[in-house]
Structure 1
Amino acid sequence: MSLLLLGSWSALERDQWLSLLQPALPGECWILDVPLNAADAAEVEAAIVANPAPGSLGNLPRLRLIQSVWAGVDKLLADPGLPADVPVARMVDPAMNEAMVHTALWAVLSLHRRFFELAAQQAQAIWRQPEQLRAADWQVLVLGLGELGGRVARSLAAQGYAVSAWSTRPAVVEGVQCFHTDASLVQALARADTVVNLLPLTVATQGFFDAARLAQMKHGASLVNLARGAHVVEADLLQALEAGHLRHAVLDVFAQEPLPPQHPFWQHPQITVLPHCAAQTDPRSALAVVVGNLRALREGRPLQHLVQRQRGY
């Protein structure tokens, strides 16, 4: 049987994964492109993927596992040719989780201590000291309490911030006030100085931050979007910033990536643009996750981090 390694990545990225996987799984036969004949396709037992082209996984009759090496699986699940009866596992990479915590801490701290504004002052040689607020006086709302959201919420609380969190299902996080109803979301948005978005992208969360939702946010609050670009209606965000309702936005993800050079976000004084780098899969640590699931598949043990397709994540 064969293992398929397939994704929307460069040859360098693919070869990096292959150089790690081959020694960890000696004796395996690797296929590095969509099988062109029925005999090769019938040999594929598992696919290790990074958002492969739509239809790539639809004609593999013996496929038993689709293991993503990326945390987000929304594009993968949107493939109409994705086999309905094959388990899909997402990546939960410890190093990526830690990187997301670092980025969220940096963004919240920079907004809390006005570091983005101080950088703008430096460019104009302005010497003006901002008010110094305690972390406990800064209300942070984390949206999404999955693997990443839970870690971010706990880490912010450990730094002394007043942290609340909202998710679509009830959750408990030590040191964090958790909510899950629509009414509680409205109330939490009205209190938060910084909103950190780590929601999964589903049909229900597409366009989550539209004009109505942004209007529910506290006047002068800031948005940190580290999840998916499709969560934000970009024109509505621009309007909320230009109207003075929101103070700043830190954006790592966008409706179109790479962000086009002419996009208004690049030059907007109240927007900090990151090139989708808040937290990237580290193959060195993610390798153990992939190998663990492949060995579990062969040995008939439970698979880890399986996607619940009806929920979209």
Structure 2
Amino acid sequence: MKILFSAKPDVWDDYEAPLRRALDAAGLRYDLSRDHAPGDVDYIVFAPNGPVKDFTPYVNTRLVMGLWAGVETVVGNETLTQPLARMVDDGLTRGMVEWVVGHVMRHHLGLDAHIHGQDGEWRNDVYPPLAQDRPVTVLGLGELGSACGQALAGLGFPVTGWSRSPKRIDGLTCLSGADGLRDALTDAQIVVLLLPQTPATEDILNADTLALLAPGAVIVNPGRGPLIDDDALLAALDSGAVGAATLDVFRTEPLPRDHPYWAHPRVTVTPHIASTTRPETAAQVIAANIARGERGEPFLHLVDRTAGY
């Protein structure tokens, strides 16, 4: 069985040994390479910035396995007719939970006033509410959104989650649809965005939806840049309607040096580091999916092309 690794050369250096360990542990007989003849390839381990752009020659490929959680840059590739699996990796999920919880707690506790206010003034006149009195909304209830929502609920926050289709998740109030979105955002004090990027989710936070939030609400976006109408968010930040935003993802990356987010006093920019695919845990996911295919079992984490994720 031949496995093609299609990603940047430096990524191969990170993944080769973990992949071989995981494939060996799964008891698979394989030939893993960056240079198989297309017609011989059974499985492709794929990053969108790798060399494979045209999937037409891969006529015998049974599954394309993405190394990234997002698939928006490949799902529209008309040559990709093979099944496509997105990366659902426990290491990526745990990393995202830690980043989201850290930044939500930072804003909830008002840590910036003390971290940046080391000027000799004794600021002891404002106390944060308890978590139970701070409503949080998580937009997107996939693997990452569900895990982050449950982690925040475990800390005592009342968490409302919204998704395009109905879901039931322990500890969360789950809403869906257009009316559900409005209800989820109304009076939310902290909003975490973990939706996929699709035509239906672009600019989901805009002037109208931002106006639903509690005055001075906080936006935390480790999802995708186009989920936010940047002009609308900047206007809300300037007016104080939105109190702060921590943004990890942007329409253009790296974020241009002259972008107003860099200098805005209410914005924290992080450089798309909220979480990442980790070779050791991702390799185990890849090996497990290949093993399922070799046993004739259904693949996991398949992308719905019509939904875009």
Q: Please report the RMSD computed on the Cα atoms of aligned residues, expressed in angstroms.
A: 1.8
Q: Which amino acid aligns with 1:283?
A: P
State which of 289, 295, 299 in structure 1 corresponds to 2:285.
Answer: 289
**Which residue in the other structure is 2:276 paired with?**
280
Residue 22 in structure 1 maps to residue 20 in structure 2: yes
State which of 41, 55, 68 in structure 2 corresponds to 1:44.
Answer: 41
**Which residue in the other structure is 1:78 paired with?**
76
Do the aligned partners of 2:99 and 2:275 also contact (CA within 8 Å) in 1? yes
User: SS where residue 153 of structure 2 aligns?
Assistant: helix
Identity %: 35
User: SS where residue 262 of structure 1 aligns?
Assistant: coil
Deviations 1:132-180 (A, max 9, x none): 3111110101111111111111111110111111111111122221111
How far apart are residue 125 of structure 1 and its match?
4.7
Residue 32 in structure 1 maps to residue 34 in structure 2: yes
TM-score, scaled to structure 2:
0.92
TM-score, scaled to structure 1:
0.91
Which 4+ stretches in 1 moved above 4 angstroms? none
Provide the rounded CA distance (Å) in 2 between the counterparts of 1:176 and 1:283: 31
Provide the rounded CA distance (Å) in 1 between the counterparts of 2:212 and 2:138: 15
Do the aligned partners of 2:226 and 2:251 also contact (CA within 8 Å) in 1? yes
Q: 1:240 and 1:58, CA in 2 relative to 1: closer, same or farther beyond 3 A?
A: farther
Residue 174 in structure 1 maps to residue 170 in structure 2: yes
**Which residue in the other structure is 2:207 paired with?**
211
Q: Which amino acid aligns with 1:263?
A: H
Provide the rounded CA distance (Å) in 1 between the counterparts of 2:282 and 2:32: 18
**Which residue in the other structure is 2:181 paired with?**
185
Gaps of 5+ in 1: none
How far apart are residue 111 of structure 1 and its match?
1.0
**Which residue in the other structure is 2:58 paired with?**
60
More displaced, 212-221 or 107-116?
A: 212-221
State which of 107, 127, 141 in structure 1 corresponds to 2:122.
Answer: 127
How far apart are residue 232 of structure 1 and its match?
1.2
| Residues 152-301 of structure 1 aligned to structure 2 (within 5 Å) | 152-301=148-297
Q: 1:197 and 1:30, CA in 2 relative to 1: closer, same or farther beyond 3 A?
A: same
User: SS where residue 223 of structure 1 aligns?
Assistant: strand
Provide the rounded CA distance (Å) in 2 between the counterparts of 1:221 and 1:243: 12
**Which residue in the other structure is 2:108 paired with?**
112
Q: Which amino acid aligns with 2:44?
A: A
Q: Which amino acid aligns with 1:77?
A: V
Provide the rounded CA distance (Å) in 2 between the counterparts of 1:271 and 1:290: 37
How far apart are residue 30 of structure 1 and its match?
3.3
